[in-house]
Chain A
């Protein structure tokens, strides 16, 4: 391979082809130090068929094109269990800790509930935060705590935070 002679665009095209990226925009725009978090699961997780709950996926904003502050913000939280198994019920408990202008969770309601994992072992919830006033936005930290509904399914709890900032 003669990568040294490649232009940047040619190299990005090769990267997109090699990684299956649908578009160049799917590649990271700049280089950052590779971050690897490596965990070794307890041995009993395999032998006893218990599942381990993790939150390796970062929360993401859904529908970021909402352009008015009174539309609020939707944040997707995802938990994953291993080994991947469908139909395991996970409980979520949501809180919104206001650090600036007040706001609140409007969906899901109530802020505690259950969701089942899919075939890849993932379970997700979309959380809507709205400013209390449509004119002033809101700022705070959205937190979800995940746990198994049935302790016999697995062990561990996990939490995720997302910093909300809606400015008008």
Chain B
């Protein structure tokens, strides 16, 4: 099983192919019919997913979200790598 180094800020996560994205009120549902996976994410999960475009590093995503939500900067430093790790673990994101 792939283990994502949560303290590695220079990795660039990107979407794994094959997921169908549905959004409603800012929340997301990711479906991967051929792999039988369904993922529902809250608004903040949706933000993280959408920022994982293969160009931004984990560190840049953390910095951008911390600038947008400065009161939660400390939480964001922990939440973002954890959410990305979870999405990688379930095959929704990959890293380069």
| Chain B 43-60 near chain A by CB (<8 Å), digits 1 or 0 | 111111011010010001
Checking B44, B51, B64, B79 against A6 with a beta-carbon cut-off of 8 angstroms, the contacting residue is B64
Closest residue of chain B to A6 (Cβ to Cβ) is B67
For chain B, what secondary structure do more than half of its interface residues adopt (helix, strand, loop), or is it mixed?
A: helix
Query: Once the chains bind, are B38 and A26 in contact (CB under 8 Å)?
Result: no
Interchain CA distance A39-B36 in the complex, whole Å: 8
**Contact count band on B:** 35 or more
Query: Once the chains bind, are A3 and B66 in contact (CB under 8 Å)?
Result: yes
Minimum distance in angstroms from A80 CB to a CB of chain B: 7
Count the A-B residue pairs with Cβ separation under 8 angstroms: how many?
135
Checking B26, B64, B66 against A1 with a beta-carbon cut-off of 8 angstroms, the contacting residue is B64
**Contacts known (A27-B47, A83-B33); A38 close to B39, Cβ less than 8 A:** yes
Interface residues in chain B, defined as those with a beta carbon under 8 Å from any beta carbon in chain A = 20, 22, 24-27, 29, 31, 33-34, 36-48, 50-51, 53, 56, 60, 63-72, 75-76, 79-80, 82-83, 86-87, 90
Query: Once the chains bind, are A83 and B67 in contact (CB under 8 Å)?
Result: no
